[in-house]
Structure 1
C-alpha cells in the first residue's frame, strides 16, 4: 500500500526530465539540497531551483529514498521556495500575478509524506514546521484559484490548510489558525468555495461550525440560506429571517429575501421589500426594473377584473421603469418594459374590439371606431419605446416581435416583413448586426 500511495503522490508533482532519471538517487538528493541553498542565497538562480525539482523527484523514485523523511522535507522546502519567489516578486510589482499556485499543495504533500515516514522526532518537527509555514501561502493561492473560477480546486486547498491546522494541534504545535478570527476566516473560505461549487453537503459543516462560533458576518446567513433552500424551504426562510433581524441593513440578505419572494411568487410582500432596498441602494437600476415588473404583473392580473386598480398599477409600473432610465438611460429592460406596458394595454383593447365587431348597428360601429382609435393611439405610444429598445439591442427577440406586430397593424407590411426576417434569423441562433432605425 505504501508503494501505491507514494506512486500516486509522485504523479502529483509532474514528470521527470530524462537526464534526472539517470542520476544516482543519493547524489541527486544531495545536489538538490545544494541547488536549493544556492537559490536561497541568490533568488535569480531560478534555473537551479527548477533543476532541484528534477533532482529531488529522481531521488524520490528510489525505493530506499521513499522512506527517507529528510528527502521528503527537502522536497517540501524546494516547493516552498517557489512560494517565497512569488511573494518577493509581488512586493516588487503590484501587477504581478502568482505563477506557482500549485506549489503550495505540492509542498504540503511532501511534508505530509515526511511526517508519515519519519522515525525521528526531529524529522517530524521539521515536517510540521514546514506545513505550518505553508498555511498563509496556501490560503492565498486558494483565494487566487477561487478568483480564477475554480471553486472546487480552491476548496481542496482550503481543506488542506485546515488539515494542517488539525495536525499541528494534535502535536501541540503553534498554528496561525490558533487565532479565532483567522480560523473563522479559513472555515468561511472552505465553506464558501464548496458553496460556489454547489457542493452543499461539503459546505454545510463549515457554515454550521461558523454559526456555533458566533461568526459575525451576514454572509454566514446568506450561505446557510442557500444550503437549507435545497431541501428545507421552511428552515431556509427561518435562517433568512434570523439573518435579517441580526443585520437589518445588509443589502445582500435583503436581496436574498427579494429573490425568494420572487421565486415563490409572493408579489404582495415584494413591494415593501423592494422599496426598502431602493432606499438603501438608490443607484441600483435593477431594483427599479424589478419593482416596475412587480407592478406590471399586478396590472396584468387586474386588467379583466378591476380597471381602476389596474390603471393605478400601470402608472406605478411606468414610474419605476422611468426611474430606472433616470439611473441608466440605455437600460434596455426598462425601455422595453414601458413599451410592453402600453402594448399589453392595447392588446386588451384589441380583445374588446373583437367582441364589439359583431355589433353592426350605426351606434355599434361608432363605438367600434372610437375604441379602435383609442387602441391605435396606445400602440403608437408603445412604438417609440420599442424603437429605442431595438437601437440598444437589435437582436432582442421580444422587441422584434412587438415591432413586427405593430407595423402590421399600421399596414406597413414592408417594415413588418423586415422585422419578421430579423426575428427568423434571431430564432435560428443568429444575431442582428445593426439597428433598423439607425438610418430610418
Structure 2
C-alpha cells in the first residue's frame, strides 16, 4: 500500500515538472503590461515576461498566432532595451534577461505567427497586422545584433542575423508593407554585410550569389571584387581564371585601391608568375614606402628569379637578380632591423649561393692540374665568403627567434664547415630539443 502511494506521488511530480516547461501566456501578458507602464522601475517584470513566454506553448496556444505575436513582442522589447544600453551606455545588460539570439528568436516567433494566421480559419486580420508590425521592428534589431556579432568576430551568428533581415524584407514585401530595405542602397549594403559575414565564416557558397548580385548592380565598393576573387578561388570547384577576371576588373575600376593591389600580388605569388610581380610590388612600395613586408616580398621574388636563372646556368642574369634580392631584403631590414623573416631570408640568400658553388666545387675536385687546383681554391674561397656573409644574418635571426628549426640547421652546418665541432654540436643539441617538443628559452647567440 505504501509503495503504491509513493509511486503515485512520484508520477505526480513528473507531471508537474513537465507542465512547468510550458509557456504561461496570461502571466507573460500581465508582466509585459506592467513593464510597459514603467520600464525603468520594473525590470523584474520584463524578467517575468521573458521567463513566462520562452517555454514551449501547450494546447490551443500551439496553433494560436496570438501566442507567437506576444512572444515576438516580448523579445523585441528585450532586444530594444539591449540596443538602448549599448548605444547610450546607460544601465547594464547584465540586469536584463539573458536570451541567446534574442533578435532571431523574436523574428522566428513573428514569422511563425504569420504562418499560423494563414493556416487558421477566419483568423482576424488585426493579428496579421500585429505580426507584420513586429517583423518590421525585429528587422532593425536583426541588423543591430548582426553588427554586434560581426564586431565580436562571431561571423556565423552575424550571417544568421543579416540573412534573416533579408528574409524579413521578403515577408514584408509579400504582405505589401514597408521595409527598411526598400531603399536601394540600404538593400545593397545589407547584401554586402551578409556576404561578408558568410565569407568570413568560410561559407563561400552562401557568399557567392550575394556578391555576384552586387557586382551586377555595379555597387560602388572595391571589396566586392576581392570577395568575388576569394569565393571563385576557393574550394574544390576553384576556377582561378574566373577569380582573376573579377580581380582584374576591380583593379581597373579602382586602380588606387591598395587592398586589391595586394590581392593581385598574392594571386601572382600563388601562380608563381614572378616576372609580372615586380612592377606590381614596386607600385605597392610607392603607395606604402614604410611597409617592410613589401620590400621583403620583392626581395623574395628576386631571390626566386636568382635561383631559377642560376639553375639554368645564366650567370649574368642570376648575379643581377641576386643583387636585387639583397637590395630589397636590406631595405626591409632598414625599416625593421629585427624582422626575423628578412634576417633569415638574407642569410638564406647567401647560404644558397654557397650551396650552388659547392656543387660546382665538387666537379672541379677531379681536375688535379695546376689550373684546376687554382680554380678549385678560388671557388672554395667564394664558398666560404658566402658562408661568412650568411652567418651574421643567421645569428641575428637566432637571437630574434631561438626556436627556428631552419635557422639552427643552417647555423649547425656553417659551423661544421668551419670545422668548429663544439659550436656545431651545441647548436645540434638545441635543434634536437626542438625536434623532441622542447623550447629554447634563451638565444645561443644572445651575447654575441
TM-score computed with the length of structure 1 as normaliser: 0.89
Residues 382-397 of structure 1: matches in 2 within 5 Å?
Answer: 382-397=390-405
For 1:322-333, list aligned pairs within 5 A. Answer: 322-333=330-341
C-alpha distance after superposition, 1:343-388 (max 9, x if no partner): 1111122122212222334443343233222221221111110011
- Tell me the residue number matched to 2:415: 407
Bigger mean CA offset, 304-313 vs 287-296: 304-313
Distance (whole Å) between structure 2 residues aligned to residue 428 and residue 290 of structure 1: 32
Q: 2:162 aligns with which of 158, 164, 167?
A: 158
Match of 1:309 among 309, 317, 336: 317
The Cα of 1:71 is off from its aligned counterpart by: 2.0
CA contact (8 A) 1:218 1:243 kept: yes
Picking from 26, 38, 47, the partner of 1:50 is: 47
- What is the match of residue 264 of structure 1? 271
Change (3 A) 1:62 1:332: same
User: Displacement, 1:44?
Assistant: 5.7
- CA distance in 2: counterparts of 1:114 and 1:411, whole angstroms: 84
Q: Does 1:126 align with 2:130?
A: yes
- Residue of structure 1 equivalent to 2:3: none
- CA shift for structure 1 position 19: 7.9
User: Quick check: 189-198 or 118-127, which moved more?
Assistant: 189-198
Distance 1:94 1:433, change over 3 A: farther
CA contact (8 A) 1:101 1:145 kept: no
After TM superposition, give the deviation of residue 197 of structure 1 in Å: 2.8
Structure 1 gap segments, 5+ residues each: 1-17
What TM-score do the two structures reach when normalised by structure 2?
0.87
Once the two structures are overlaid, the 10-residue window that deviates more, 349-358 or 382-391, is 349-358
| 1:86–1:100 CA contact under 8 A, matched in 2 | no
**Equivalent residue in structure 1 for 2:287, among 280, 293, 311:** 280
User: What does residue 249 of structure 2 align with?
Assistant: 242
1:264-315, CA deviations, whole angstroms, 9 ceiling, x for partnerless residues?
A: 1111101111111111122322211111100000111112412221111111
Which stretches in structure 2 are left out of the alignment for 5+ residues?
1-15, 118-122
Deviations 1:129-175 (A, max 9, x none): 11111222212222332343433332222211101001111111111
1:37-186 aligned at under 5 Å gives the runs 37-40=33-36, 41-43=38-40, 45-58=42-55, 60-93=56-89, 102-118=101-117, 119-186=123-190
Mapped partners of 2:261, 2:90: distance in 1: 36
RMSD: 2.4
Aligned length: 420
Task: Name the counterpart of 1:367.
Answer: 375
Aligned-pair distance for 1:36?
2.1
Over residues 17-47 of structure 1, what are the superposed CA-to-partner deviations in whole Å (9 max), with x where a residue is unaligned?
A: x88944996xx32221222233342346443
Contact persistence 1:43–1:85 (CA under 8 A): no
> Does the aligned pair in 2 maintain the 1:83–1:100 contact within 8 Å?
no
Q: Which residue of 2 aligns with 1:4?
A: none
Distance, in Å, in 2 between the alignment partners of 1:282 and 1:35 is 63
Alpha-carbon separation, structure 2, partners of 1:45 and 1:346: 80
Q: In 2 relative to 1, CA 23–371 (structure 1 residues): closer, same or farther, beyond 3 Å?
A: closer
User: Secondary structure at the residue paired with 1:437?
Assistant: coil
2:196 alignment counterpart: 192
